[in-house]
């Protein structure tokens, strides 16, 4: 579809922090005839995808694929490792940290939140102190890359703290996996959760978990009833010589994910991480060159997305809408309490510098248009009052 500013022949672009753009080779695979989920072709794809994800996570722990989005995988973590009334510690510095609080509270856990103002960077020292005050906490839930703010915490240092305390560490890596390094075995992450539609460049519909022996042991001890999201039952079908899924797999997405993993393999995961850092720098520089202020940290930790504050009097919801309709560029508004005051540009997955330039041009142009409109309205209303 053509839009006012996108220019002749220029396609709409998606530069949101998820879902993200899907590259042409992945789109081509997604368009192929559906495989049967008990066929040898699908078994092969499932084996290769689980192994590809393991390689990126740098782990020998098993990967469990589920046909759902990230939230259901998060829910599966709560119901597999925590019984009602279990004390769990949640690090929350944004909308997705609050999702952990909500899920664990919903399932009757005794939730101890370690809360930060949204946009702040959580500190492992605070977690260490919280665990000292709550030595009976059985697990720690946190968000590696808080997509609502652009903050990425120092996962290695957090894992050092939980390992020393002997608690399970459950990590939402939905917007960090394959964008920011995560070394599951070396750091000691017990449960790592991510999904298809962020840096993995595939549409939404697959979530996955990396499960440590300690996490699987905890799942065996918990009494809570569960079925579709039961780790043990699902994992039993996915490992071994003839892997399959207990349910009808999201077969086409698994094939798409395989193509995306091939792409990442060809580039090399360390190059992928380096590209995310470079693109994030490019984005921050372009935003600042437009005279706009960053909300997310102005450093290389913030590699998945950049959050930008709105100038006084300009609402981000209108800006995002104008960018989408008039410029053909889709980014994301702020979430929940940040809605209206920030926008978020995603540079994870299949994004090139030109897309970032277009996004920042559209952002600056939309802000200018809206500010101008607002000045005209204010002047008109002042004129009406005088008359």
Q: Are residues 108 and 85 in contact, defined by beta-carbon separation less than 8 angstroms?
A: yes
Q: Sign of torsion, CA 53 54 57 58?
A: negative
Q: Which of 26, 81, 91, 143 binds ligand PLP (CB under 6 A)?
A: 143
Q: Which residue number, 74 or 360, has a Cβ lying nearer to ligand PLP?
A: 74
Q: Which residue number, 175 or 245, has a Cβ lying nearer to ligand PLP?
A: 175
3-state class (DSSP) for residue 250: coil
Q: State the angle between helix axes of 251-267 and 40-57 in degrees (0 to 180), rounded to the nearest 10.
A: 40
Phi, psi of 79 (to 5 degrees): -80, -15
Rounded to 5, what percent of the chain is helix, strand, coil? 45, 15, 40
Residues numbered 288-327 forming contacts with ligand PLP, rule: CB under 6 A: none
Instruction: Establish whether the linkage from the previous residue to 19 is cis, with ω within 30° of 0.
Output: yes
The H or E element containing residue 170 is strand 168-172
Q: How near is the Cβ of 71 to ligand PLP at its closest, in Å?
A: 3
Burial pattern 248-266, b for ≥16 Cβ within 10 A else e, equals ebbbbbbbbbbbbbebbee
Q: Which residue number, 20 or 238, has a Cβ lying nearer to ligand PLP?
A: 20
Q: Which residue number, 18 or 349, has a Cβ lying nearer to ligand PLP?
A: 18
> Can you name the residues that pair with 64 across neighbouring β-strands?
209
Q: Which residue number, 6 or 316, has a Cβ lying nearer to ligand PLP?
A: 316
Q: How near is the Cβ of 305 to ligand PLP at its closest, in Å?
A: 9
Q: How near is the Cβ of 200 to ligand PLP at its closest, in Å?
A: 12
Q: How near is the Cβ of 77 to ligand PLP at its closest, in Å?
A: 11
Q: How near is the Cβ of 143 to ligand PLP at its closest, in Å?
A: 5
With binding defined as CB under 6 A, does residue 234 bind ligand PLP? no
Residues 6 or more apart whose CB falls under 8 angstroms from that of 85 comprise 108, 109, 110
The H or E element containing residue 190 is none
Residues numbered 159-218 forming contacts with ligand PLP, rule: CB under 6 A: 172, 174-175, 195, 204
Q: Which residue number, 256 or 365, has a Cβ lying nearer to ligand PLP?
A: 256
Q: Classify residue 172 by burial, with Cβ atoms within 10 Å: 0-12, 13-18, 19+.
A: buried
Q: How near is the Cβ of 320 to ligand PLP at its closest, in Å?
A: 16
Q: Which of 18, 122, 150, 365 binds ligand PLP (CB under 6 A)?
A: 18
Residues numbered 105-124 forming contacts with ligand PLP, rule: CB under 6 A: none
Residue found by looking up tokens 């840096």 in the block: 199
Residues numbered 47-76 forming contacts with ligand PLP, rule: CB under 6 A: 69-71
Q: How near is the Cβ of 170 to ligand PLP at its closest, in Å?
A: 12
Q: How near is the Cβ of 18 to ligand PLP at its closest, in Å?
A: 5
Q: Two tokens at 147?
A: 């997509």
Q: How near is the Cβ of 174 to ligand PLP at its closest, in Å?
A: 4
- Rounded to whole angstroms, the Cα distance separating 345 from 347 reads 7
Q: Which residue number, 187 or 208, has a Cβ lying nearer to ligand PLP?
A: 208
Q: Which residue number, 159 or 174, has a Cβ lying nearer to ligand PLP?
A: 174
- Rounded to whole angstroms, the Cα distance separating 132 from 124 reads 12
Q: Which residue number, 80 or 195, has a Cβ lying nearer to ligand PLP?
A: 195
- Rounded to whole angstroms, the Cα distance separating 121 from 373 reads 36
User: Could you tell me where the DSSP H helices lie in 166-301?
Assistant: 184-187, 213-221, 231-238, 251-267, 269-289
Residue found by looking up tokens 């995988």 in the block: 73
Q: How near is the Cβ of 371 to ligand PLP at its closest, in Å?
A: 29
Q: Which residue is nearest to ligand PLP (CB)?
A: 70
Residues 6 or more apart whose CB falls under 8 angstroms from that of 219 comprise 80, 81, 211, 231, 232
Q: Which residue number, 137 or 179, has a Cβ lying nearer to ligand PLP?
A: 179
Total residues at the site for ligand PLP (CB under 6 A)? 12
With binding defined as CB under 6 A, does residue 96 bind ligand PLP? yes
- Rounded to whole angstroms, the Cα distance separating 211 from 11 reads 40
State the residues that interact with ligand PLP by CB under 6 A: 18, 69-71, 96, 143, 147, 172, 174-175, 195, 204
């Amino acid at each position: 579809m053509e839009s006012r500013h996108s220019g002749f022949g220029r396609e709409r672009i998606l530069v949101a922090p998820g879902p993200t753009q899907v590259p042409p080779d992945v789109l081509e695979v997604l368009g192929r005839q559906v495989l049967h989920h008990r066929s040898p072709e699908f078994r092969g794809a499932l084996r290769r995808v689980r192994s590809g994800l393991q390689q990126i996570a740098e782990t020998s722990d098993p990967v469990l694929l589920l046909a759902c989005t990230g939230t259901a995988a998060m829910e599966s973590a709560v119901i597999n490792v925590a019984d009602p009334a279990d004390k769990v510690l949640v690090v929350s510095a944004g909308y997705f940290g609050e999702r952990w609080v909500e899920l664990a509270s919903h399932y009757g856990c005794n939730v101890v939140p370690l809360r930060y103002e949204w946009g702040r960077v959580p500190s492992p020292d605070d977690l260490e102190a919280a665990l000292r005050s709550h030595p009976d906490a059985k697990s720690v839930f946190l968000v590696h890359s808080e997509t609502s703010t652009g903050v990425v915490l120092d996962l290695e240092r957090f894992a050092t703290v939980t390992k020393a305390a002997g608690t399970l560490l459950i990590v939402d890596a939905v917007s960090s996996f394959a964008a920011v390094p995560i070394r599951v075995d070396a750091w000691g992450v017990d449960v790592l959760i991510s999904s298809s539609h962020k840096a993995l460049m595939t549409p939404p519909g697959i979530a996955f978990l990396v499960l440590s022996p300690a996490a699987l042991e905890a799942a065996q001890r918990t009494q809570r009833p569960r079925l579709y999201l039961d780790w043990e039952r699902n994992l039993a079908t996915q490992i071994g010589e003839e892997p399959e899924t207990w349910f009808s797999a999201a077969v086409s997405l698994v094939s798409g994910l395989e193509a995306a993993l091939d792409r990442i393999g060809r580039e090399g995961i360390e190059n992928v991480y380096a590209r995310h850092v470079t693109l994030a720098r490019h984005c921050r520089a372009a935003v600042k060159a437009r005279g706009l202020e960053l909300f997310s940290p102005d450093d290389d930790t913030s590699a998945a997305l950049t959050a930008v504050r709105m100038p006084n009097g300009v609402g981000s919801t209108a800006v995002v809408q104008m960018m989408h309709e008039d410029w053909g560029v889709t980014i994301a508004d702020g979430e929940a309490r940040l809605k209206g005051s920030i926008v978020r540009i995603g540079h994870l997955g299949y994004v090139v510098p030109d897309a970032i330039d277009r996004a920042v041009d559209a952002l600056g142009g939309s802000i200018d248009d809206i500010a101008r409109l607002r000045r005209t309205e204010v002047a008109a209303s002042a004129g009406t009052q005088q008359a």
